[in-house]
Amino acid sequence: SKLYAEAGDNFFMLDTAKHAHLHETSAPEDVAKAYYDVLRQIQDALQICPRAVILVDELETLHPGVAAALIPVLKGNPVAGVSTKEAIYILTSDFGKEGASRGMSFDNIKSEIYRFSAKIYNDLTVANYVTILPFMALSRDDFYAISENKLRKLPCTMPQLQCVNWDENAVKVVAEAAWHGVREKNGREVDEKFDNLVNIDLALQLDALGIASLNPTPRVSALIKGDLAGMSVHVSLTVKPASKESLDEF
């Protein structure tokens, strides 16, 4: 299983992608092998942390015979003697198509999830052991909030930056570019537009400055401005030596 170190030793994401190639006509022995692999991954995670949070992403990619491995786990049955009752299991799906729930009401999404679950599990009793949390479509305001948050977190994603300032137009350009994208208003559209409009330019400028090779590392601040007319973002960097005086001024 894949451990997300930044989330601590209690968060795991099962590696189900390697079983996505299985389909209805796959050999039974291949399905059985994948079934037990999923159980083994869950067992490994629970042996590390009995109260683990285990994520199964894109559930629709799993063959029903492989997804069936989750049924005893969700019912709280032990796996190879390891208790499954204290862990939290998160199962996500977009029904095999991004934006599939767009335009649906909350109740319609829940109904679709139940139909989807019946197809995957072939065992509706599993519905008694799970809580359904439909994700409503992102709004335009959500895109603005995500865009601003990504700007705020730039010093975390690019440690060379000690200070980042931006104007309101920078947020607008990223948010509107993402909103009018092609991913059915999916949050990943914000990631893509932010990379194209901000991250790539920042990375190129930092690389050109050769910051990584300087010792001591200088202090770098970024000013990010948006051009609504051209739907573009301009990034400018300011570099100061890493002296005590400059640090006080920074």
Q: Reduce the secondary structure of 231-243 to three states and give it as a string.
A: CEEEEEEEEECCC
The full set of domain ranges for the chain reads 2-129, 140-249
Q: Are 193 and 179 in contact (CB under 8 A)?
A: no
Place of tokens 């299983």: 1
Per-residue pLDDT band at 126 (split at 50, 70, 90)? low
Cβ neighbour number for residue 81 with a 10 Å cutoff: 7
Which pLDDT belongs to residue 128?
66
R_g over Cα of the chain = 23
H/E stretch holding 106 = helix 106-121
Residue 101 has pLDDT above 80, yes or no: no
Among 121, 44, 120, CA closest to 84? 44
Mean pLDDT of 149-158: 91
CATH 1.10.8.60 assigned to 140-249 = yes
Mean pLDDT estimate for the chain:
82
Q: Take residue 165 and report the two structure tokens written for it.
A: 């300032």
Residue 111 has pLDDT above 60, yes or no: yes
Hey, which of 16-30, 127-141, 224-238 has the most confident mean pLDDT?
A: 224-238
Total-model pTM:
0.62
Which pLDDT belongs to residue 98?
64
Residue 166 has pLDDT above 90, yes or no: yes
Per-residue pLDDT band at 43 (split at 50, 70, 90)? very high
Q: Are 59 and 92 in contact (CB under 8 A)?
A: yes
Which pLDDT belongs to residue 6?
45
Per-residue pLDDT band at 184 (split at 50, 70, 90)? low
Which pLDDT belongs to residue 121?
60
Residue 138 has pLDDT above 60, yes or no: yes
Mean pLDDT of 90-102: 73
Cβ neighbour number for residue 134 with a 10 Å cutoff: 15
